[in-house]
Structure formats: structure tokens, C-alpha cells
Amino acid sequence: MKQIIDVIAKLFSVKRKRVSTSDPTFILEKLYSSIDGFYISKAERERLKINDTSFIYGEISSESFTEALAIAQPQAGNIIYDLGSGTGKAVIYAALIYDWKKCVGIEFLPGLCQVSQALLNNFLCMKEIHQHFSHKHFPIKFIQGDFLNVDFSDADIIYLNATTLNPVLWDKLTKKLNELKQGARVILSTKKLEESYFEKIHQALYPMSWGDCTVFIYQKK
């Protein structure tokens, strides 16, 4: 009899583990349920005849991003940039789980940036946002353009999915990153920063949409 009760109790507890509608991961999955960033990116690259590895699409998982952000220790009122923000998933997710002064995504491909802006509008109208986050501020902005031409020197945290960036672009970008303010953190996939400018505070393998990938977290000296 006790065994039967235990089994029923276990089943009941499994049932009760349903994801809450206030869970940021649930909200993100709902918002992006019909969005395929890979498809949009491929169509945009074909349309614009872009054949540069820098524009290959890939996404960080919300679990990996949560972990990496926690290590970067955002403080209330910080500013974050996602350099190459794709459909804006990481930017919207970061805005949900921390309180920022500014949360900015910069994306070169117009089709991807337009989708991120449209999704931001949908996000702000979601019933889950009105229900559970009505007092939260979402200072999110998406900029369409080349991140080399945008001033991000006020960043406290930079997220950069840099795995496929070509060496010429990477060289120019590191020069801008070297100008970041002291204490700024950079969450970076695959590529490394110059240790004369940055202290490496973390390195680990994280699952990405294309498989496991080394993520480095640096702090500006």
C-alpha cells in the first residue's frame, strides 16, 4: 500500500513541476516558437549575396547564457550589448532576468534585425509580461548596422558569439574592445582577448545550437 502511495505521490510531484508562465525560459520559448533565425539569416545572406563566415548563424542556449551572465555578475543599472544579436533572443532574455539601464542588440543583417524589433513589440504585449513583469522596465534597443560603426564604449557587459568571425573583422573588433572601460566584462565564444588588456575570469564548454563551444569571460584591466 505504501509503495502505491509513494508512486502516486511521485507522479503528482512530477505533474506539479510544470513550468510557470512567469519563467523567463517559458516566455522566450513562447515568443520564439515560430521563429527560425537560421532560415532568416540564410535567406538574407542569399538576398544580399554575402558569403562571409562572420554572418553564419548560431545561437546560445538560454541555460548557457544564464550561467555565463551569472559569472559576469551584472549589477542593477549596468549596460549590456550583444554584438551580432541575430533575432534578439539573448538581448530579450537578459532584459527579463536582470535590471539594466540599457540592453542593446546590434545586428548587420536587416531581415534579422527587423524580426528582433517585431518580436520586441510582441514581447511587450505578451499577457505573461503584463501579468508577472508589469513593474519591470525593459530598456531594450535593436540597432541595424555594423558593430564596428557603433559606439559601445559605455558597456558594462558585452556578449559576443564570435566563433565564425573572420580574422580581419576580429582584428578590428579587438581594437574597439581594448578601449572598453575598466571592469567591463566580455562573454566571448571561441576567440580569445589580449591578456595585456583583459583578465580571463572564466573558461568552460557550453552547449550552443551547433554543439559544445568554449566560452571565455574576460574583465577589462
Site for ligand SAM in 131-150 (CB under 6 A): 146-148
Comparison of 132 and 214: residue with beta carbon closer to ligand SAM? 214
Q: In the 3-class helix/strand/coil scheme, how is 129-169 assigned residue by residue?
A: HHHHCCCCCCCEEEEECCHHHCCCCCCCEEEECCCCCCHHH
Site for ligand SAM in 86-125 (CB under 6 A): 86, 89-90, 106-109, 112
Q: Which residue has its beta carbon closest to ligand SAM?
A: 84
Sign of CA dihedral 122, 125, 129, 134: positive
**What are the residues facing 219 on neighbouring strands?**
185, 199
Comparison of 96 and 106: residue with beta carbon closer to ligand SAM? 106
For the CA atoms of 48, 50, 111, 169, the dihedral, rounded to the nearest 10 degrees, stands at: -140
By CB under 6 A, the count of residues binding ligand SAM is 23
CB 87 within 8 A of CB 124: no
C-alpha to C-alpha distance for 197 and 16, rounded to whole angstroms: 49
DSSP state for residue 60 in the 8-state scheme: B
Joined together, the cell numbers standing for residue 98 give: 536582470
Per-position x/- string for 55-84, each x denoting binding to ligand SAM as judged by CB under 6 A, each - no binding: x-xxxx---------------------x-x
Comparison of 89 and 185: residue with beta carbon closer to ligand SAM? 89
Piece in contact with ligand SAM (CB under 6 A), picked from 24-32, 54-62, 73-81, 194-202: 54-62
Choosing from 32, 41, 79, 187, the residue that interacts with ligand SAM (CB under 6 A) is 41
Site for ligand SAM in 165-184 (CB under 6 A): 169
Where along the sequence are the contacts to ligand SAM (CB under 6 A)?
Answer: 41, 54-55, 57-60, 82, 84-86, 89-90, 106-109, 112, 146-148, 161, 169
